[in-house]
């Protein structure tokens, strides 16, 4: 029979726009801040704050968003992750309403690492961020001359400041590494189960049925 | 002609999401900025005003976010209902075609005809001559007991329209 195929329920599953927006906003922001923007510059600090805002929005969405975006839909569970690995080994395809259990662990790992990056960044430069001279960057001098009351900025100097800086760099490197593994996971899942995992985050999730 | 676009509600949800994200950024930056004032200035009208603005921004974020959720969840529900309806209609169509004893080729042509393609378009889609399509279409009409494309479509529509339909009124072509 050659009926038009009924639109399949799973062919147009997509993440909601807020998930997509925060995902790509954070991705672009992190990459820009790490690879393009000079560390410690004013732009770096404000971009970091913007990333923090988007992370905050996504985490709040984990409580009030639609069902599949909520934390309750993808609890961090090593046991289920192991089961999922078993499914992969046995070539069993399973449908998950939200992240698959491995993807869920990655999501929490990325958020946790990003939170450490943000917290250590704020420990270094305060909130609102103040560019400090020793952090380098041309804007540092300009900002230091503004004469704002920056008591916050000085607290972090010395040993604590150095520790924060090292944590910041190590966590940022870990974050990029995790993002890389995440990409690998997406490629793997795409080859295993189709383009759905990709299209659901890009947004043109529905396979357009032309004519 | 039947390409499925993002439903209107989804586009609205996306637009509202952008506003919510912008408001979140604005709220964080404004609160950061206001903290400087709070630390340096005496508590007073200025600081109180900034507090109110910060709260208003956060309230805007919350209301916008809830709006996005409502639009999105409703959109998914509508989509699911549409899938069920499309699946049901496809099943009904297949059943009718079987009852009428359409050949696979005729059934194909009938589907395209129901979707509103004209003879030339159907011929192009099926890679056959227009004369063939016209003959197949005639067979479809004959087997279905109708004499026009509109009447054919009405055979499917009448099941979908609720309420009493006067039985004595002829189906107008």
What average pLDDT does the structure give for chain A? 81
Query: Phi-psi region for residue B79, left (φ > 0), alpha (ψ -120 to 50) or beta?
Result: alpha
Tokens of A147: 């004469």
- Check CB contact under 8 Å for A149 and B40: yes
Q: Look at A43-57, B102-116, B147-161 and tell me which has the smallest mean pLDDT.
A: B147-161
For the packed helices B119-126 and B104-114, what is the interaxial angle rounded to 10 degrees?
130
B168: distance to nearest CA of chain A, Å?
A: 32
Query: Which chain A residue has the Cα nearest residue B86?
Result: A6
- Check CB contact under 8 Å for B25 and A54: yes
Residue A203: pLDDT above 50? yes
How many other C-beta atoms are found inside a 10 Å radius of the C-beta of residue A164?
Answer: 18
- Check CB contact under 8 Å for A149 and B10: no
Q: What's the rounded Cα separation, in Å, for the pair B106 and B138?
A: 9
CB contacts, 8 Å: B28 with chain A? 49-50, 52-53, 56
In this prediction the ipTM stands at 0.76
Q: What's the rounded Cα separation, in Å, for the pair B40 and B52?
A: 18
Distance of CA B161 to CAs A4, A48, A58, Å? 22, 57, 44
Q: What's the rounded Cα separation, in Å, for the pair A93 and B26?
A: 43
Q: Look at A136-150, A196-210, B133-147 and tell me which has the smallest mean pLDDT.
A: A136-150
Mention every residue, 6+ apart, whose C-beta is less than 8 A from residue B105.
B126, B136
Distance of CA A34 to CAs A39, A170, A209, B28, Å? 7, 12, 40, 21
Tokens 């004893």, residue? B101
B residues 52-91 lying closer than 8 A (beta carbon) to A: 61-62, 65-66, 68-69, 72-73, 76, 79-80, 82-83, 86-87, 90
Tokens of A93: 């395809």
Query: Which chain B residue has the Cα nearest residue A70?
Result: B69
Q: What's the rounded Cα separation, in Å, for the pair B20 and A65?
A: 13
Q: What's B4's DSSP letter?
A: P
Do the Cβ atoms of A50 and A22 come closer than 8 Å? no
- Give mean pLDDT, residues A185-207: 79
Q: What's the rounded Cα separation, in Å, for the pair B76 and B72?
A: 6
- Give mean pLDDT, residues A182-191: 92
Q: State percent of chain B over pLDDT 90.
A: 37
- Give mean pLDDT, residues A108-115: 97
Is residue B105 classed as helix, strand or coil in its secondary structure? Answer: helix
Distance of CA B17 to CAs A62, B63, B67, B71, Å? 15, 11, 9, 11
Q: How confident is the model at residue A138 (pLDDT cuts 50, 70, 90)?
A: very low
The pLDDT value given to residue B56: 93
- Give mean pLDDT, residues A7-29: 81
Higher pLDDT, residue B42 or A200: A200
pLDDT tens, B27-62? 998 988 888 887 887 778 888 888 899 899 999 999
What is the 3 state secondary structure string of A27-75?
HHHHHHHHHHCCCCCHHHHHHHHHHHHHHHHHHHHHHHCCHHHCHHHCC
pLDDT tens, B60-84? 999 999 999 999 999 888 888 888 8
Q: Look at A9-18, A47-56, B5-14, B89-98 and tell me which has the smallest mean pLDDT.
A: A9-18
């Amino acid at each position: 029979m050659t009926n038009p195929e009924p639109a399949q329920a799973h062919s147009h599953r997509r993440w909601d726009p807020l998930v997509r927006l925060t995902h790509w906003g954070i991705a672009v922001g992190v990459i820009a801040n790490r690879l393009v923007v000079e560390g410690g510059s004013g732009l770096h600090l404000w971009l970091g704050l913007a990333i923090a805002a988007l992370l905050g929005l996504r985490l709040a969405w984990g409580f009030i968003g639609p069902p599949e975006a909520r934390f309750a839909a993808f609890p961090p569970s090593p046991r289920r992750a192991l089961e999922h690995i078993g499914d992969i080994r046995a070539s069993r395809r399973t449908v998950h309403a939200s992240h698959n259990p491995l993807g869920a662990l990655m999501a929490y790992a990325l958020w946790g690492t990003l939170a450490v990056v943000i917290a250590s960044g704020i420990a270094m430069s305060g909130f609102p961020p103040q560019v400090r001279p020793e952090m380098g960057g041309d804007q540092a001098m300009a900002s230091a001359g503004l004469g704002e009351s920056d008591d916050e900025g000085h607290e972090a100097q010395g040993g604590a400041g150095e520790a924060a800086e090292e944590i910041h760099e190590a966590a940022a490197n870990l974050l990029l590494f995790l993002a890389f593994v995440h990409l690998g996971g997406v490629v793997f899942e795409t080859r295993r189960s189709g383009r759905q995992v990709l299209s659901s985050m890009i947004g043109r999730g529905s396979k357009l049925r032309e004519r | 002609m039947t390409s499925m676009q993002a439903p209107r509600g989804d586009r609205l949800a996306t637009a509202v999401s952008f506003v919510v994200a912008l408001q979140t950024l604005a709220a964080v930056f404004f609160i950061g900025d206001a903290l400087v004032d709070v630390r340096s200035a005496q508590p007073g009208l200025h600081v109180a005003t900034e507090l109110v603005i910060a709260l208003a921004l956060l309230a805007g974020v919350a209301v916008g976010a809830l709006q996005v959720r409502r639009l999105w969840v409703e959109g998914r529900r509508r989509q699911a209902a549409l899938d069920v309806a499309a699946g049901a209609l496809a099943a009904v169509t297949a059943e009718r075609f079987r009852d009428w004893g359409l050949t696979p080729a005729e059934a194909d042509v009938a589907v395209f005809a129901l979707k509103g393609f004209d003879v030339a378009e159907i011929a192009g889609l099926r890679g056959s001559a227009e004369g063939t399509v016209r003959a197949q279409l005639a067979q479809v009409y004959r087997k279905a007991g109708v004499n026009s494309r509109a009447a054919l479509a009405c055979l499917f529509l009448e099941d979908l329209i609720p309420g009493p339909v006067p039985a004595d009124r002829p189906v107008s072509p």
